[in-house]
Chains A and B, each alone.
Chain A
Amino acid sequence: MVEETRIITKFLRDRPDDSWTIDAALENGAYNGLRKALDMTPEDIIAEVTTSGLRGRGGAGFGTGQKWSFLPKDVFPRYLAVNGDEGEPSTFKDHMLVERDPHQLIEGIIITSYAIQCHHAFIYLRGEFGLGAERLGQAIAEAYERGFIGANILDSGFDLEVVLHRGAGCYIAGDETGLLSSLEGERAMPRIKPPFPAVQGVYAAPTIVNNVETMSTVPHIINRGGEWYASMGVNRSTGTRIFSVSGNVERPGNYEIELGMTFRELIYDLAGGIKDGKGLGFFIPGGASSPWLIEEHLDAPLDMDSVQSELKTMLGSGAIMVFDETVDPLLVAWRIAKFFAHESCGKCTPCREGSGWLEKVLYRMSHGYGRPEDLDLLLGFGNNLAPGLSWPPGMTTICQLGPSTMSPTVSLRNYWYDEIKERMTRDAAARGEISVVSA
């Protein structure tokens, strides 16, 4: 039987009643990593994090230490923008980390700010997190009172302001450049790269954008060393990660595991398998943006690189949605398309127009109004939205939202092409639109 490996979720699991309070956090050794970090040089911290192999936990999986090293030398001021906008459907790990261990997050932010020599950090928190904003706001105030944030932190001479910035209901603010637009008081429309945020981010100044889970991991790497962290995991996917498992499983929830565990172990051993003893229909491995997987992929390891190269999908934000055999894949595809059509910011034409088309055609297909040629129609224009219809997709838009809208449809093609065509033909015949000549 496999088990969780709790590093960043250990304390919040052990102290479910008060883990968010400063007293409980200090008893648990919160801010010890900060004390250690302030005795190190910024370069040493970056080196330690690079050694750990930590990769961004928001979705893209970019090396954290490497990202920090992209800051142009001697250009100041610099900013840190922490991405807590968590909007990828079925991801709910940052929600937990913010509500239940805000001091761990704040400690990671202070250490990171010191490492990249920034004096102003923003936490962009999803607007809908009412309790999260309350607890994080309280925790920031406490950290100021105790001298962990503010001027001359712990007599080190290092100053830092931390601002909690609440979003207001918008998926694309979770894209790193969309987040910067939103932080500047504008519509959260992504910006074309380059320039990358590390060169020109918020207020056109060098900016590092890191996810909440990434930041929450940093204190542990400083406390226990980059090599310790790198000793866990598999290949270039080092350490642990929180996976949010939901849908038709017995025990939906967040599970922190060492990377390299298989999908089967995570879904069946930890999350209890399919609810009510049913069989598996299909599962989505990395949020609504990722192409889907089926039974034959269950024994693949949770390794960011092999999931991309072998399975042609991604671990993304770590959201695993599981559907039993009775769930209609077309209905799920339509609902995801509806989400993307709602959240498309409208900046790039292929996404603005394409996401709406997809939603309309998938609606009729999933509700008995489909036509035999519909799936081919979607794949035809979808090739202009996600060129190649594979993973990673080609890009025709500024951000990843555009091509991601095609993931469900590509999955329908991969697993149920003939079945769907037959069903659409039957539906059209039942409406009397075509006559079916049986072979």
Chain B
Amino acid sequence: MPFTPANLELARAAIARYPQKKSAVLPLLHLAQDQDGHVTPDAIEEIADLLDLTPALVLGTCSFYTMFKRAPVGKLLVSVCTNVSCLVNGGPDLLDHLQRRYAADSDVTVEEVECIAACDLAPVLQVNYEFHGPLAGDAAGSLIDEYKQGKRVARTISGTSVRSG
């Protein structure tokens, strides 16, 4: 759906921060993703319109970056690192465990990611870009369930703080 009036205001404020408005492509894509849960084709059109760009350019930028999802994902995005420091500390097993555990759960999307710069916590994962580690399979599952049950407050799907809005 189009930006809500409040988000449109945030979008205009983001654009105003840059000497050239094309720089606001990434911030606006994050904003659209936070609003809709993923980046929709309509959002691409609207962002292009706001920035006087072609939708093709916005889509081209969008599709380059792994954090932007162009298909729906669960409300909780679990990103498990399997790069080398996690590889030798059980990262692949953790990924496998969580993929099986949440295979049929539409609220939770489990993805494999490259190094997320928290190797002292290996094996490490993020839930909506909040870091957690080191975690073995079952402990990780319990943690994700706490998010599901609302015992922990998750960030948005782009990792924006829910506290500061």
Report A's interface with B, CB cutoff 8 A: 77, 86-92, 94-95, 120, 126-131, 133-134, 137-138, 161, 163, 165-171, 182-188, 203, 244, 246-248, 252-254, 284, 288, 319, 321, 323-324, 327, 331-332, 335-336, 339, 342-343, 345
Contacts and interface: CB of A to CB of B under 8 A. Distances in A.
Best-buried of B20, B129, B158 by chain A (most CB within 10 Å): B129
Interface string B84-116: 110111000000000000000000000001111
Nearest to B65: A168
B54 interface: no
Contacts, number: 164
B159 A185 contact: no
B161 to A, nearest CB: 4
A203 B20 CA distance: 8
B17 A163 contact: yes
Contacts of A88: 115
A166 B19 CA distance: 16
Nearest to B81: A89
Interface of B: 17-20, 22-27, 29-30, 51, 53, 57, 60-61, 64-68, 79, 82-85, 87-89, 113-120, 122, 126, 128-131, 155, 158-161, 163-164
A244 B26 contact: no
Nearest to B128: A130
The 3 closest A-B pairs by CB, nearest first: A185-B25, A246-B119, A130-B129
B75 to A, nearest CB: 15
Nearest to A170: B65
Contacts of B129: 127-130
B162 to A, nearest CB: 10
B83 A134 contact: no
A346 B15 CA distance: 29
A252 B87 contact: no
Contacts of A203: 19-20
A169 B60 contact: no
B84 A321 contact: yes
Given A165-B27, A170-B64, A185-B24, A95 B118 contact: yes
B61 A244 contact: no
A96 B3 CA distance: 34
A120 B19 contact: yes
Contact of A165 (B26, B65, B83, B113): B26
